[in-house]
Structure 1
Amino acid sequence: MRAVAAGKIRRENGSELVAWRDEITRRALLQAGGDWTPINGPVQVAACLTVPWPARMPFAGFCDSVEPVGERPARLAPSGTPDGDKLLRAVQDALSPRKTSRFHLLSDDARVIDSQVTKTFAAPEHTHPWALDTPGLVLRVSILGADVEPMPGSVLSEPGPMPEPARRLHESLACQRR
């Protein structure tokens, strides 16, 4: 969203955002299958966004007690832009695209009643166990009340390995890109 003249707000739909939403929709379709019926009930979303290192970042003072890895601090959280809530909104919009006949994981993104989002840099400097080795998204959508493990929190110490089901899925998708 961005403000324009006379206090009006306009939704931002840049080509990169549209392409990213399309990729999320495509990957959701691959996982759900072609005979998927959009979820029309309350869901919870857990999203871990692995973001790229910024071209410039002031590291001084952030990690005085952490041993550096090469040129970078070992565990520096991506506390700059874009905001996690804006990234999550784009993810949710991709799961239920408006004004299109494309694949819908959800009947409406208003069905998301509980969400959790985290940003991390890529492994091995990551601060979250769901981090990928390249920028991307690990997303879990579950029906409210489903028996799923809660999303772990971010840490500045070693966050541990990616859970096995997420690791297998990531590896299978990496093979599809080749």
Structure 2
Amino acid sequence: MSCSSETAVQVPLFDLTEEENPSLETAEEGSECSSRPVGAHYEQPSDVRYRDAVQSAIAHPLRQGYGKQAKNFVAAVFYNNELVIPYWHVSLIKAIHYLGPDNVFVSIVETRPDYFSGSERIEFLAARRNRALGPPMEGGYDKVVFSNDIFIEPDILVEFLETNDGNYDVACGLDF
């Protein structure tokens, strides 16, 4: 089964007629697009401190969200990630329920690299990252999140944004 853009999961932010109780669609149970690959998953108690708040925000979303009203810019660069994007997309939408859709802007760029290595590869990826960053040059954002082909959890994205209670210049997640 392929998880092309035609089969991407649709998760509406709000049912505008009933903003208090939107329906949250999910991918078919057991489908290749809906589940994270099987592998080791390590979780510490501090890793889940936003999990209940995110779940509550999904059940009862507010346009302004439940966070600190920070303006967040998500810049993502992908290449041939049909297995990652549906999971990433659903997780991002769930995190946006908590952060508030008025507080999040998302820019996605798909790269098309030929095989290359060394400094050419780094220069190419930096150019793609800068292309994804184009829109915030005109916005006023408090936080910028760079993402790529990772299986992110919505509460972990919120946790990442709240690193050191949001008091940092740069934070870097680790992808094991």
TM-score above 0.5 = no
Bigger fraction of residues in helix = 2
TM-score, reference length from structure 1: 0.33
TM-score, reference length from structure 2: 0.33
- Structure (1 or 2) with the larger CA radius of gyration: 1
